[in-house]
Structure 1
Amino acid sequence: MDGEGVVKRRRTAEAGRDGGDASLDEVFKDEDEEYQPYVPVHLRRQQKLQKLAARVQKPLVSEGDDTDGDGGKGRLGGRGRRGAGSGADGGADGGNAEAAPQRSFVPLIDQAIDIKQHEKPKSEGEKQLELEKEILEAQSRGKQLMSGVELAHDIKYTEPMKTSWRPPKHIREMAAQEHAAVRKQFHILTEGKDIPPPITSFREMRLPPAIFEHLKSRGILKPTPIQIQGLPAAFAGRDMIGIAFTGSGKTLVFTLPLVMLALEAEMRLPLVGGEGPIGMILCPSRELARQTYDVTKAMCEALEAAGHPSLRVLLCMGGISMAEQTAILRSGPHIVVATPGRLQDMLEKKRFNLDNCKCLCMDEADRMIDMGFEDDVRNIMSFFKSQRQTLLFSATMPKKIQNFALSALVEPVVVNVGRAGAASLDVIQEVEYVKQEAKMVYLLECLQKTEPPVMVFAENKNDVDDIYEYLLLKGIDVVAVHGGKSQEEREFAIRSFKEGKADVLVATDVASKGLDFAKIQHVINYDMPKEIEDYVHRIGRTGRSGKTGVATTFINRNSSEQILLDLKYLLREAKQRVPPVLLAIPDPTEKFKATVEDPNVECGFCSGLGHRITECPKLAQQQRSQMAGSITRHVGGGEF
């Protein structure tokens, strides 16, 4: 006999003992009700997955909807397949099994193909923008304007610094719409959280009377757009990125708040030897550092003449003897104006420290990073012992540098007057095609366009020396500046030109960044620079402080086609005349620019308008330099 028969007879006997007359049909009926068929393991797993899919995904068929006509059985039907709702899982969750979507049976690869088929195809412009975004993110990844100590210990500041300055009550009580109207009136674009209100008068900024008189003596009667919004933000202790065209008054936006911060600290607790500075200004070139030092020292002297405490300013740059400033170092400087190389050397020698430094200003910040001072700046920041206010300013601030700086600033305020990298509208730009052999002769004709003083820019030192000697032979009072000259020669040339003792200054790009020549009327580019940012800085030496100026640029076949395309779009943006030689250059990005909303979309790496970041010559040059440096290191280390 098989086991099943034994079980049936035992159950029958038990039924007979209990009930006495229980029939065989009743016994088998009870067996059918208790019987649970075996469901294979893989089918039970499939049922569980279907129930999970029914809970996570939206059911295709509502629960209880008997559209199949199978009384709530599973979609596949059959007692052996789904248990027909009679098992522990099937009977209790028959409705959920019915509601399970058919999508769960489709393989993932088929789902992906289906999504792609129904997805709206991207245009060439959208694909290009996505690629550019990836490249820009790759360039900014891993770079932060923070010290090595802060990165190692994961130190992050979440709150901006607090100061005692507050705007007047009537300005604080103005509605947000009124502040927005002021910004719109002066074409000020801002980004950030809790932006301080713009103030259109120096008197309402609560400055000492001595500062008013000093500014008035220099012909500064009312703030410029960058000062209207930048000064309140700096006075309030906010980190800031200031972007405005050359000659717009950016220097005052960071020197004046720094002087006021040092004055307040000195009045509360005077500095003694071994202390200081309270604030620091970094500049990319010696000429700019000297000019910033003169501006800052003049304000401190004006305050001292009015009876305020004396503020000591230290100039720290290469080419000068620090022995002359030993007295300032011994007493403790309030403000340090420096170039990165010499400052790093002084800090490592412990001539002074940054324990009490509360403010760091970087003038021409993007050029400083591009010139290879990035590691020096990060090393300098490692000497800070606490949080500091960081102010970054430039006329050309590409997105790459902005993203790089925003990584370390605390709730920064971005103040932008005009497009970053745009040329000043007060400069009349003239572009002329001149053959290489005729440039020197034609230069004499261009010098007669306006009265002196005139600046002439050349790309390399040899051209500067050749132009200088040629103009001397022609009887013109001329001086020259380039990196190969001693610091005394460079300072003598700049001073002679500013004082009117020389009519023409011939220089390389060391004199193109931030230098202020109030009376200059004409700038001549003897050759087109390799980067459009250098062109913007060069022509910015004229047309400053609301005055108009002229910029003449020589181009020929030696100029790269890429930089000429950038020049063409820059002229169009400034509504200047575009010569036929530039109009004849074919633009490969013309088709792409026709498909985007803003045709004047600049390169995120160098702010050039004539190319995209995928064809950026500056990015390509940087990558070649990095590759060459990597190969040099490998060869030096013996890996090849």
Structure 2
Amino acid sequence: MATQRTRDRATKRDSEALNDDDMDVGEDYVPYVPLAKRRAEKFSKLVSRKGGLDFGSANQYNNNDGGNRTARNEAGGGDRNNNNGSNDESEDEDDAVATVGPMAGISLIEQSVDIRKAQVAADEQKTDVQKAIEEENKIMAAVAERRQLASAEEISKGIVYKESMKTTWTPPRHIREMSEDQISAIRQKYHIDVEGENIPPAIKNFRDMKLPKPVMDYLKNKGIKMPTPIQMQGLPVAFSGRDMIGIAFTGSGKTLSFTLPLVMRALEEETKMPLLKGEGPIGMIVCPSRELARQTYEGFVGISDLLHQGGYAKLNCLLCMGGINMQEQAAVFKSGIFHIVVATPGRLQDMLAKKAFNLNLCTYMCMDEADRMLDMGFEEEVRTILSYFKYQRQTILYSATMPKKIQDFARSALVQPVTVNVGRAGAANLDVIQEVEYVKQEAKIVYLLECLQKTPPPVLIFAENKNDVDDIQEYLLLKGVETVSIHGSKTQEEREYAINAFKTYQKDVLVATDVASKGLDFAEIHHVILFDMPKEIEDYVHRIGRTGRSGKTGIATTFINMNSSEQILLDLKHLLKEAKQRVPPVLEALEDPTEKYKDMGVAGGCAYCGGLGHRVADCPKLEQQQKTKHGGMSRPNERAGNEM
């Protein structure tokens, strides 16, 4: 039986061999190489590559046991022959794979090590300043706002406006025919910096701006004879329909720069085709605080009344802010026709959600103190408000302190924007004499009485928190000083009474938190006292800016002590030097870490908040906002106290 099986197998082998001999074997015949042997060859090549062998030369590999490797280098390059006769074409393909790319012969681990060594070597050649600047760039990239400041509908539909709004206003012929050199000379004379394309020329008088006679009478009654630098450039830009970012020091007339263009647009629309019930408004102004909204509203009413008395159409204005009963605006709502809305973000969002009015015809939007509004946490409210616009609008942003980060973020909502800057963004008003005194914490409230004797009333006192405001008011009343106060915990009636009593000189002193620091115009204030140094240099600039307005000189006295952070004191030191003010010895003694950047020719200051005495890595504002963001809380004494 076994013999028979053996004979059968032999016969089968002979038959197969005969068939193989009968086959027509071509020159490109490739014998079969077992999978195990092919894997062993590939493993051998990888081991050789790790050892640094050059696969560009002719190497011969023998894989007898699937794991042992024998290599022979043949001069001139040639074939790779295995003991079992490997495929030449397959070997050529393997060679092609092995030599792809300049790093093909090096493992990923070794490449990573080489990259790290190169980075270390490059870092060793960099100075500490260069390393710090790179780190700052990383921080700014990490905190950069990547969400566009636009409505959700525009973003979702991909709506992008390519051209600015068109208006019928044009400057006079002699202005249009001015050469670029003449226009540049005017801007240089008044320290006006502009950025953008096709910027309208600056105009040095109101007559050439084509304002109607009642408006000119209004300006004359206010004692305004010629435009300020921000008005010279800002008004023509706004009249032309261009989107704009306006930056100028406190008391420079920014409010008039955005109210007059809106009045003229509303007047033109009402003259061409009067509004019907439910069609308004034509434009709106959004303010961060109630007091600022009330002040802006009163300005609109004053201009509108004079226009109506001069025979022009009646322009209605709606005040929309928290803390007031909307029955005060019942007459406006009853008529259903209002051309202008002045509002705070929270109440405006609420009224739009309730469909009290719509923005179908609204083509003008201005955000006053725009950077402060975004800092206070109103960004989402602003986005929601933008979603109610149906068509393109002219957007204008104004502030005295607008860091580059806010400017870059704001440009996402603007179309071909023009940036108008009078002086450095965040610089103090040069008409304010800044005095800084070191006063111990327990002696500050007593020293107030001495400071009040520097100038006649009215005097404005700022404190950081509400308890200090109440304590100061009580102390001054006990000393016989006529004093009122405002802060976020007071009712709207109490706040308005305090502001009106102070403005009409019924009271000599107003004690306030930062609710009174943003944009409020107290024309006759000669002296501002900062009971404590604020936590951010931007707040300091806004506080002292309540005096020295409209070209008048004022005094700002600031109390500092060990409770003030070193970063804010360094910012104050640089601000005083920039304004050529006296720097007290306690500030001169502070070591300035930014000096090394000046030696390298690097521009000083923080790119995030604009402070001159620190860099981004030490920015107190950034640190506070990061804590607020992670804690999910609003900033204290601001959002809750100012608007809601």
Q: Which amino acid aligns with 2:318?
A: L
Who is 2:412 aligned against?
Answer: 407
Q: Which amino acid aligns with 1:295?
A: G
| Cα distance change of structure 1 residues 101 and 491 upon mapping to structure 2, 3 Å threshold | closer
Who is 1:288 aligned against?
Answer: 292
Is the contact between residue 329 and residue 352 of structure 1 (CA under 8 Å) also seen in structure 2?
A: no
Tell me how far 1:124 sits from its aligned partner: 2.6
Q: Which of residues 595, 614, 617 in structure 2 aligns to 1:614?
A: 617
Who is 2:527 aligned against?
Answer: 522
Structure 1, unpaired ranges of 5+:
1-5, 7-33, 36-75, 82-99, 631-640
CA displacement, residues 387-446 of structure 1 (integer Å, 9 cap, x when unaligned): 111000000101221111011211100111111111011111000011111111110011
| Cα distance change of structure 1 residues 107 and 315 upon mapping to structure 2, 3 Å threshold | same
Q: Distance in 1 between matches of 2:223 and 2:564?
A: 40
Q: Does 1:301 align with 2:286?
A: no
Q: Under a length normalisation based on structure 2, what TM-score does the superposition of the two structures give?
A: 0.81
CA displacement, residues 584-611 of structure 1 (integer Å, 9 cap, x when unaligned): 222333333432333xx22122111111
Who is 1:14 aligned against?
Answer: none
Q: Secondary structure of the residue that 1:372 maps to in structure 2?
A: coil
Is the contact between residue 522 and residue 551 of structure 1 (CA under 8 Å) also seen in structure 2?
A: yes
Q: Distance in 1 between matches of 2:620 and 2:379?
A: 20
Q: Which amino acid aligns with 2:602?
A: E
CA RMSD, aligned part only? 3.4
Q: Distance in 1 between matches of 2:211 and 2:544?
A: 33
Who is 1:511 aligned against?
Answer: 516
Q: Which of residues 217, 225, 228 in structure 1 aligns to 2:229?
A: 225
Who is 2:351 aligned against?
Answer: 346
Q: Distance in 2 between matches of 1:446 and 1:141?
A: 43
Is the contact between residue 358 and residue 387 of structure 1 (CA under 8 Å) also seen in structure 2?
A: yes
Tell me how far 1:324 sits from its aligned partner: 2.3
Q: Which of residues 625, 629, 636 in structure 2 aligns to 1:626?
A: 629
Q: Does 1:123 align with 2:138?
A: no
Aligned ranges for residues 97-176 of structure 1 at < 5 Å? Answer: 109=111, 121-176=125-180
Q: Which of residues 545, 554, 563 in structure 1 aligns to 2:559?
A: 554
Q: Which amino acid aligns with 1:370?
A: D
Q: Distance in 2 between matches of 1:204 and 1:553?
A: 42
Is the contact between residue 246 and residue 421 of structure 2 (CA under 8 Å) also seen in structure 1?
A: yes
Q: Secondary structure of the residue that 2:413 maps to in structure 1?
A: coil
Aligned ranges for residues 582-593 of structure 1 at < 5 Å? Answer: 582-593=587-598
Q: Distance in 2 between matches of 1:218 and 1:336?
A: 23
Q: Does 1:270 align with 2:277?
A: no
Q: Distance in 1 between matches of 2:621 and 2:288?
A: 19
**Greater mean alpha carbon deviation, residues 468-477 or residues 120-129:** 120-129
**Greater mean alpha carbon deviation, residues 522-531 or residues 122-131:** 122-131
Q: Secondary structure of the residue that 1:407 maps to in structure 2?
A: helix
Q: Distance in 1 between matches of 2:142 and 2:101?
A: 41
Who is 2:440 aligned against?
Answer: 435
Who is 1:463 aligned against?
Answer: 468
Aligned ranges for residues 333-482 of structure 1 at < 5 Å? Answer: 333-482=338-487
Q: Secondary structure of the residue that 1:247 maps to in structure 2?
A: coil
Q: Does 1:329 align with 2:336?
A: no
Q: Distance in 2 between matches of 1:411 and 1:477?
A: 51
**Greater mean alpha carbon deviation, residues 298-307 or residues 273-282:** 298-307
Q: Which amino acid aligns with 1:488?
A: E
Who is 2:640 aligned against?
Answer: none
Is the contact between residue 250 and residue 400 of structure 2 (CA under 8 Å) also seen in structure 1?
A: yes
Is the contact between residue 440 and residue 561 of structure 2 (CA under 8 Å) also seen in structure 1?
A: yes
CA displacement, residues 465-494 of structure 1 (integer Å, 9 cap, x when unaligned): 111111112221211111111111111111
Q: Which amino acid aligns with 1:311?
A: L
Tell me how far 1:118 sits from its aligned partner: 9.6
Who is 1:199 aligned against?
Answer: 203
CA displacement, residues 503-557 of structure 1 (integer Å, 9 cap, x when unaligned): 1111111000000011111000011111111110000000111111100001111
Is the contact between residue 340 and residue 373 of structure 1 (CA under 8 Å) also seen in structure 2?
A: yes
Tell me how far 1:219 sits from its aligned partner: 0.8
Tell me how far 1:213 sits from its aligned partner: 1.5
Q: Which amino acid aligns with 1:579?
A: P
| Cα distance change of structure 1 residues 365 and 102 upon mapping to structure 2, 3 Å threshold | closer
| Cα distance change of structure 1 residues 341 and 118 upon mapping to structure 2, 3 Å threshold | closer
**Greater mean alpha carbon deviation, residues 557-566 or residues 363-372:** 557-566
Tell me how far 1:329 sits from its aligned partner: 2.1
CA displacement, residues 197-241 of structure 1 (integer Å, 9 cap, x when unaligned): 111111111111221121111111111111111111101111100
**Greater mean alpha carbon deviation, residues 422-431 or residues 494-503:** 494-503
Q: Distance in 2 between matches of 1:527 and 1:504?
A: 17
Tell me how far 1:142 sits from its aligned partner: 2.4
Is the contact between residue 125 and residue 596 of structure 1 (CA under 8 Å) also seen in structure 2?
A: no
Q: Distance in 2 between matches of 1:613 and 1:101?
A: 41
Q: Distance in 2 between matches of 1:433 and 1:102?
A: 66
Q: Distance in 2 between matches of 1:262 and 1:219?
A: 25
Q: Which amino acid aligns with 2:219?
A: L
Q: Distance in 2 between matches of 1:245 and 1:115?
A: 48
Q: Secondary structure of the residue that 2:264 maps to in structure 1?
A: helix
Is the contact between residue 129 and residue 596 of structure 2 (CA under 8 Å) also seen in structure 1?
A: no
Q: Which of residues 251, 256, 263 in structure 2 aligns to 1:252?
A: 256
Is the contact between residue 465 and residue 513 of structure 2 (CA under 8 Å) also seen in structure 1?
A: yes
Percent of counterpart pairs with the same letter? Answer: 64
CA displacement, residues 98-140 of structure 1 (integer Å, 9 cap, x when unaligned): xx99999899949968986997943332332232223223222
Q: Distance in 2 between matches of 1:310 and 1:525?
A: 43
Q: Distance in 1 between matches of 2:135 and 2:419?
A: 26
Q: Distance in 2 between matches of 1:274 and 1:116?
A: 65
Q: Secondary structure of the residue that 2:519 maps to in structure 1?
A: coil
**Greater mean alpha carbon deviation, residues 462-471 or residues 389-398:** 462-471
Tell me how far 1:77 sits from its aligned partner: 5.3
| Cα distance change of structure 1 residues 463 and 117 upon mapping to structure 2, 3 Å threshold | closer
**Aligned residue pairs: how many?**
565
Q: Which amino acid aligns with 1:267?
A: T
Who is 1:603 aligned against?
Answer: 606
Is the contact between residue 274 and residue 330 of structure 1 (CA under 8 Å) also seen in structure 2?
A: no
Q: Distance in 1 between matches of 2:266 and 2:288?
A: 23
Structure 2, unpaired ranges of 5+:
1-20, 22-26, 29-74, 81-99, 634-644
Tell me how far 1:460 sits from its aligned partner: 1.0
Q: Which amino acid aligns with 1:472?
A: L
Tell me how far 1:143 sits from its aligned partner: 2.6
Q: Distance in 1 between matches of 2:619 and 2:273?
A: 52
CA displacement, residues 173-208 of structure 1 (integer Å, 9 cap, x when unaligned): 222222122111111111111111111111111111
Q: Distance in 2 between matches of 1:591 and 1:390?
A: 40
